[in-house]
């Protein structure tokens, strides 16, 4: 099984603290050593770092941690392979263009019947059930709405519906970003926290690294973080209910939908 990390904010924020915790689980404090990836949005476009190697030992991952890039939306993943070889094509997150913006996707679990899902305009470049499911999901959205970008509420409902349908074929914990909203589906295990005023100090579970967020934020800042397992040991994380989809925008949990 892999681990997921997502961040959605109301002001540009770097993901260094949370990514440091995830990286430790990518080979040193966890078995997820088969690849890592990080997508950072700048408007509708995602800047994506991918490497089929352990994040904990990666010079590229260390570079990302040491050179903060601020963003409003980010998705990261550390992989423990179940299907598909360890290579760049099979490394999450995956991304494609739809309606003039990048959609970014990362998955935790196994969708056993993924390769039976019909594909439309989107085709996998790798051999994972995850990418196949993503291509099917994005193709279903494109087919449902055509060339007209849907309203945010319409898109959220459609993502919840199609993700729930795909999830009937296996374990489908997933993160999906479109540059405007972050969608997080819980099949078995997912957690989130919203950091807002009054900010406090937080310490990573897997690293001796702490941040006093009161010193690096303003009272108006708001940051939502989603992770497979809580990344900090001194904060209260909310546990996801299986078969639900969280929708985040502007650092807020705006909806919880059946999925």
Q: How far is CA 16 from CA 21, 61, 125, 151, in A?
A: 9, 10, 29, 32
2 included as an active-site residue: yes
Residue 177 CB coordination number (10 Å) = 28
Strands (E), the chain: 3-13, 36-42, 45-51, 71-78, 94-98, 101-108, 173-177, 182-186, 191-196, 201-203, 210-212, 222-227, 238-239, 244-249, 252-258
For residue 116, count other CB atoms closer than 10 A to its CB. Answer: 10
CA pair distance 226, 191, nearest whole angstrom: 6
Catalytic member of 2, 9, 135, 186: 2
| Angle of CA points 39, 136, 111, to nearest 5° | 85
CA distance 235 to 132: 36
Residues serving a catalytic function are 2
């Amino acid at each position: 099984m892999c681990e997921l990390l997502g961040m959605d904010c109301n002001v540009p924020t770097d993901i260094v603290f949370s990514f440091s915790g995830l990286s430790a689980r990518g080979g040193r404090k966890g078995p997820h050593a088969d690849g890592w990836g990080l997508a950072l949005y700048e408007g509708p476009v995602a800047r994506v770092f991918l490497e089929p190697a352990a994040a904990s030992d990666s010079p590229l991952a260390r570079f990302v941690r040491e050179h903060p890039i601020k963003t409003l939306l980010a998705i990261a993943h550390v992989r423990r392979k179940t299907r598909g070889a360890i290579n760049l094509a099979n490394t999450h997150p995956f991304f494609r263009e739809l309606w003039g913006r990048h959609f970014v996707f990362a998955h935790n679990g196994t969708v056993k019947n993924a390769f039976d899902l019909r594909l439309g305009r989107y085709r996998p470049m790798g051999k994972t059930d995850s990418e196949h499911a993503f291509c099917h999901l994005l193709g279903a959205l494109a087919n449902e709405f055509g060339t007209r970008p849907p309203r945010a509420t319409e898109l959220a409902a459609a993502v919840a519906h199609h993700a729930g349908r795909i999830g009937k074929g296996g374990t489908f914990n997933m993160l999906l970003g479109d540059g405007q909203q972050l969608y997080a589906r819980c099949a078995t295990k997912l957690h989130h926290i919203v950091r807002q005023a009054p900010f406090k100090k937080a310490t990573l579970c897997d690293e001796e690294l702490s941040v006093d967020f009161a010193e690096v934020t303003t009272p108006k800042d708001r940051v939502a973080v989603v992770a497979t397992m809580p990344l900090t040991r001194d904060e209260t994380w909310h546990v996801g209910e299986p078969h639900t989809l969280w929708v985040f925008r502007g650092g807020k949990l705006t909806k919880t939908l059946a999925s």
